[in-house]
Amino acid sequence: MKTLITLKIEKFEEKGQEYFVATSDQIQGLVAEGNTIEEVIEIASDLAKILIEMDQEKEQNHNQITAIPELFSLG
């Protein structure tokens, strides 16, 4: 499955060195840095996949934990 995300890419210059930083309002925690726009997009793409996967695992674990009380009955 492919997911389309919007990246905000900003150009910075520090000590004569140029670099780019990508962030996304759609994926919390996505911050990627690279020397070129192409590089920062590639890094952001890889990071987005990891963050989405982690979020899905977190959701699955939460669903498992909330199901535990149903296994027990008081009486």
Count CB neighbours of 44 within 10 A: 24
Reported pTM: 0.72
pLDDT digits (tens, 9 = 90+) for 38-54: 999 999 999 999 999 99
pLDDT over 70 (residue 65): no
For residue 8, give the amino acid letter: K
Mean pLDDT of the chain: 86
Radius of gyration of the chain (CA): 19
The reported pLDDT for the residue numbered 57 is 83
